[in-house]
Amino acid sequence: MLMNKPKKVAILTAGGLAPCLNSAVGSLIERYTEIDPSIEIICYRGGYKGLLLGDYYPVTAEVRENAGLLQRFGGSVIGNSRVKLTNVKDCVKRGLVKEGEDPQKVAADQLVKDGVDILHTIGGDDTNTAAADLAAFLARNDYGLTVIGLPKTVDNDVFPIKQSLGAWTAAEQGARYFWNVVAENNSNPRMLIVHEVMGRNCGWLTAATAQEYRKLLDRAEWLPELGLSRESYEVHAVFIPEMAIDLEAEAKRLREVMDKVDCVNIFVSEGAGVEAIVAEMQAKGQEVPRDAFGHIKLDAVNPGKWFGEQFAQMIGAEKTLVQKSGYFARAAAANIDDMRLIKSCADLAVECAFRRESGVMGHDEDNGNVLRAIEFPRIKGGKPFNIDSDWFTQILAEIGQNKGAKVEVSH
C-alpha cells in the first residue's frame, strides 16, 4: 500500500456547520499520522476560499500530537465558506479570482503549486457538488490529483448515503435545546411554542429531533397533581416539507389540545411551507433573498414565525414563542455515535488516498449499505425523508396527528 503513498494531503471544510467537521479533520490527521507521519498535511482556511487564495494551516508535529482535541469541539477550527467554483461571477465579485479567470483552474493550479496530490473535502451537497466538478476538471486536464469527500449535513439528505455525518448529534442537541425552551409554557396561559428545526428541503432532522426529545420525556418523572404533566411538555405536532398540512384540521385538533393542556408545542422544519411563504412575499412585491448557490435564505423567509402567526389566532393562543435550535445543534461537538461513523469514514478515506480512489465516503444505499467510496456523479442532495418510516408513523400516532399526504419537494 505504501508504494503509492501520498506526498502531501490537503483538507478543507465547507458549507454550513455540522457536528462532525472538527472530528473529521482530527480523525484524518490522526489516521495519516498513524500510518506514515512523513506524509505532509495542510488545512485550507475557510474552505474553497482558502484553496483559491492559497491560504492554509500547515499541520505541524504539535498539531498531529494534539489532533484528538478537535473531537471535543463543535464547528470547524479551520473555517468554512460558501463558495461555488462554477459560479465565476460570484468568485470575481468576492475577490477570490480575477476577471477572466476560471475558479476551477485557479483551484487546480493552487493545488499543484502547493504540492498537493490528495484533497479531502468535508461538506454537504454543495461542497460535494463542487468537489465533483473539481475532480472532473482535474481528470479532464490530467492534473493527477485525487479528490475524496466526507458527507456532512444535519439534514441527512444526500443520495445515496444512508447516514450523513453529524446528523445524529444535531437531532440529539436539538432535543436538549427544546427541553429548556418548553418550560416557557409555564410563563403564560395559552402558550404556543414553535420549535423551528433546520432542514431546507428535508424533514429528517425535525422528525429525528422530535424522536430524541420524546426519549427525554420517556425517561422523565412527572407530578401531574401539581401541574407537572407530560402532556404540557409533549410534542403536539410535527410539520415537515414532505408531508401535506391541513391547516384547518390541525388548528381544530390543536385548539382542543390548548383548551385541555393550556399550551401547544409544535416542531416545524425551516423548509416546511416555504413555497406558500415565498408566494405570499412575491405577491406583496417583496424580494426573496438567495445565496451564491441560488438557495432561498431561510432566515429571511422565517417559516417558524409564519407558522406561529397562522396558528396563534386559529387556536386562541395568548402568547406565541418561536425558537430556533439550528445554530445550537449544528455547532455541537460530535456525539459517540457520530464519532464512530466519522472515524470509519475517515479511515476509509485514507485507504482510498493510497489507492488514488476518488469518491464520497458513505454507506451506499444502492449497494447493500456497504461503506465505500461512492462515485461523485452519483452524489446529489435532496433525498426526501420517508414519512412512512415506522418510527415516524409511530410518533404521529402517539401524539394524535394524522399523517398528511406525501409532498414532492422541489430542490
Residue positions in the annotated binding site for Mg(2+)? Answer: 125
Are 206 and 240 contacting, i.e. CB atoms less than 8 angstroms apart?
Answer: yes
What the block records as the C-alpha cell of 23 is 472530528
Considering only CA atoms, which of 257, 351, 334 is closest in space to residue 68? Answer: 334
Return phi, psi of residue 195, to 5°. Answer: -100, 105
Nearest alpha carbon to residue 346 among 23, 18, 14, 13: 23
- The three-state secondary structure class of 211 is helix
How does strand 8-13 pair with strand 118-123?
Answer: parallel
Q: Which three cell numbers stand for residue 24?
A: 473529521
- Catalytic residue check, 114: no
Q: 155, 203, 200, 411: which is closest to 301 by C-alpha?
A: 200
Binding-site annotation, residues: 16, 125, 153-155, 198-200, 270, 327-330
Q: Which of 117, 126, 133, 155 is catalytic?
A: 155
Range 368-375, long-range pairs (CB < 8 A, 24+ positions) = 369/162, 371/344, 371/345, 372/348, 373/148, 373/348, 374/160, 374/161
Task: List, as residue ranges, the binding site for diphosphate.
Answer: 16
151, 121 Cβ separation under 8 angstroms:
no
> DSSP 3-state assignment of 171?
helix
- Report the greatest alpha carbon distance in the chain: 74
Find out whether 170 and 18 touch, Cβ atoms under 8 Å.
yes
- Sheet harboring 319-324: ordered strands across? 237-239, 263-269, 191-197, 319-324
Residues identified as active-site = 155
